[in-house]
Chain A
């Protein structure tokens, strides 16, 4: 360990802290770090592969003699599978494997009841049609209201109720909250609701499985190559070393693709039984039905404040459904702002619908939508500027600075002082909301750096790049240490034969692997330094790697020449180091967004004109990619705010819009101007000072848009999505 000074913070607000740097690791970068490659725009290292169609995704893999698998799914939300007749399917030429789930009970529409593997997808379709299933239909509930109703049928036979209280940290203190309400000048009680959103990654779930010599290779569309390997090994009862996951490129996950699901097991089993590679990738309807979703919410809020804007009490009771799972339907709030006291009761409600899954910032967008709506309502009630109210109750130094940046960029002073006061039928409004996320990074991951005597550099890790740009970020960090450019570095990801890496959840992949990549490249640099000093003299510690050169020896060398002095190729293993020795500048990452909308008060149509997103993610490694990711969070948030809604039919229990026409996702025509501002903060935490960026930028969007709609029309829509009918209802027109 050696003691170092580290400068943390951001322009205008910096502080110096002492850190203990473990031996054999690079010094952490502070605000004063002089960096050549990090922090500049770099295009994706896999850009050419992706624009030419040469990038191989899991379902582009086509091993020789591959066959196809598919599951037959229940049309009923709740039914006993009395009989599954596979005989006609089995008799069909080209059908190689079948199975049925006779005697089971299905608990949601789309649950599998039989499966087939066949020579072609066309034979597969025929075979599924030839399976006869006899169901005993049972009573179902597919909405929270129906499941909570008196006398509602239980969703799961083994549980006699549908509503479960979820307890956790942050439940707060009811007495203190009631007392705070009593001391307040205004107390508001409002109910906010949010809908169910399906992940709808363009690449659906699924995999290709191939057995060779008792070893299984799974090309999976996954956010967790290692979790697929480990859970498949467990499911099949084979050692982990006999299973390999490959995910070279991945068509989006957003939280729905961790571990294995039933179809993966079926695929592996069919491959084992037939001795042929098998592919199963879900079709779009299956993806909507069983792929995953963000639970809905009904949030009954009681908030109070003093006339001067001091926030007093926040009491939130929420109900939501994660389908057949009695967990994870809670919401995040209040959290961002300082209240005297808070209290929460969260209820998970079972319904006969597919299980909810983690979805980009699970719990946050829905909770923040209600929280930010309540803040705006309080501001209006006490006659205070909504931004001033936030500033008064926010203690996060980064977000306080971001408010200024965002307000200036959107032109906050242009907002309607009196909401809805614009002239004519097209009314404009401006609103804002805040977000936060956690600093991330996980132990147990490693990046290998290999530098050979010709000077080619490869960084490798077995985790996946789900489209966020992890591959490029590792190349940038490796290039920085070795004085090269990102395109000089080969980054190999997505094969579990390489060193372990994290699952892409919690915005943690880049922030775990980035520091590990830097560590690995830095170690390799030490070896090259020694080799140069041995051969050419000079002080190894003073050799500098800049712009493809090694300088500081009696004579400058190119990086390749320096590597030529190595006795053999260098291989190092870099790790993410735990944060104990790197104090944080702030405990959480901060963000805020400002939205401008135009609402047609005659039709109820909302068009978002502009969004300004100011987002902290620690040190920004590649601003071009960071802007892409912030745009992505904003656009998904906009789509959630205005369009997306899984519609379940209470009568039949089926999903009514399990396709990409009726399940509306924002397209080009719905796009506003987006100003994404990555806000660099030297945060400490690890040797790079970086945090994740996947989730935080989608947290505030819906709240900001909803508040802008209110500012435009002077009426509040407290339900997502903000559809024209809801706007007209809020206006009292219908």
Chain B
């Protein structure tokens, strides 16, 4: 999830709505968050369509969508970036993992309007032209996929770990990094696979960077 605290995520809204039903005291907090958004110049409005713009896979895109549309649905149904999958739609499976401003994020738990101005990377944007990301190569080599439905989310999580490790190692030396099995398990602990590809994913990740 993006770290910008001013953003109201869908999880906050859901949580807020639930809590409000019991406590009736959450409204001021939501109002405060909404005000913060206005202050940042983010489109406010609804329930009708609002304008939102972000960078996706290096390309500036503008959309006119209802504020309740998730980033996931915007990607899939409005931008035809269908590599990102909708599986649980509640942040419990990781199939919709994308990068927002360089951090992994469940696209089903973020409203598209909250991605205003953000830089979003999806599975379609990971390869450099025909040159696959090393993690993508490793997934093929180790057969870390079966039906392939969790694969885009798994790869975005694993590639994020890989990129982070590269950044951390950049200063110390150019030498390849080493991952522990624990780190890999942690990186995909939010990603579910039903076919049972986990162990091949472990070997794919551990084989990269050596």
> Could you list which residues of chain A lie within 8 angstroms of chain B, going by C-beta atoms?
43-44, 46-57, 59-60, 62, 121-122, 200-204, 249-252, 254, 283-284, 466-469, 624-625, 627-629, 631-636, 659-661, 665, 667-669, 671, 673-674
Contacts and interface: CB of A to CB of B under 8 A. Distances in A.
B85 A251 contact: yes
B83 A467 contact: no
Nearest to A68: B77
Interface in B85-99: 85-90, 92-93, 95
A674 B141 CA distance: 18
Given A467-B148, A667-B192, A668-B191, A660 B136 contact: no
B122 A202 contact: no
Given A54-B83, A624-B143, A665 B198 contact: no
B202 interface: yes
Nearest to A279: B77
Interface centre among B68, B80, B146, B198 (most CB of A within 10 A): B146
Contacts of B86: 59
A479 to B, nearest CB: 17
B103 interface: no
A284 B123 CA distance: 22
Given A252-B194, A631-B196, A467 B146 contact: yes
A53 B133 CA distance: 13
Nearest to A253: B147
A481 to B, nearest CB: 23
Given A631-B196, A631-B199, A671-B185, A53 B93 contact: no
B26 to A, nearest CB: 22
A628 B148 CA distance: 12
Given A43-B143, A632-B197, A633-B196, 20 more contacts: A44-B143, A48-B140, A57-B149, A60-B82, A62-B80, A62-B82, A201-B149, A202-B87, A202-B93, A202-B150, A203-B87, A252-B195, A628-B195, A628-B197, A629-B146, A661-B90, A665-B194, A668-B186, A668-B198, A668-B202
Nearest to B84: A53
Contacts of A54: 83, 124
B139 A51 contact: yes
A184 B177 CA distance: 63
Contacts of A661: 90, 92
Interface string B94-137: 01000000000000000000000000001110110000100010
Interface string B145-161: 11111111001000000
Nearest to A46: B148
Nearest to B136: A51
Contact of A122 (B68, B90, B202): B68
Contacts of B145: 44, 47, 50-51
Contact of B93 (A49, A633, A660): A660
Contact of B194 (A202, A249, A629, A668): A202
A289 to B, nearest CB: 14
A469 B150 CA distance: 16
Given A52-B83, A667-B189, A43 B147 contact: no
A122 B69 contact: yes
B131 to A, nearest CB: 11
A250 B90 CA distance: 22
14 contacts: A43-B141, A51-B139, A51-B155, A53-B81, A202-B147, A202-B194, A252-B195, A254-B194, A468-B146, A631-B198, A632-B195, A636-B194, A660-B93, A668-B201
A523 B127 CA distance: 40
Contact of A625 (B66, B82, B90, B143): B143
B112 to A, nearest CB: 12
Contacts of B66: 122
Interface string B178-210: 000000111011011111111111100000000
A606 B89 CA distance: 30
Which 5 A-B pairs rank lowest in CB-CB distance, beginning with the nearest? A53-B83, A467-B147, A635-B196, A251-B149, A632-B196
A120 B196 CA distance: 34
Interface string B49-83: 00000000000000000101100010011001111
Contacts of A660: 87-88, 90, 92-93, 192
Nearest to A676: B199
A466 B199 CA distance: 20
Contacts of A121: 73, 77
Nearest to B127: A52
Contacts of B202: 668, 671
A50 B145 CA distance: 8
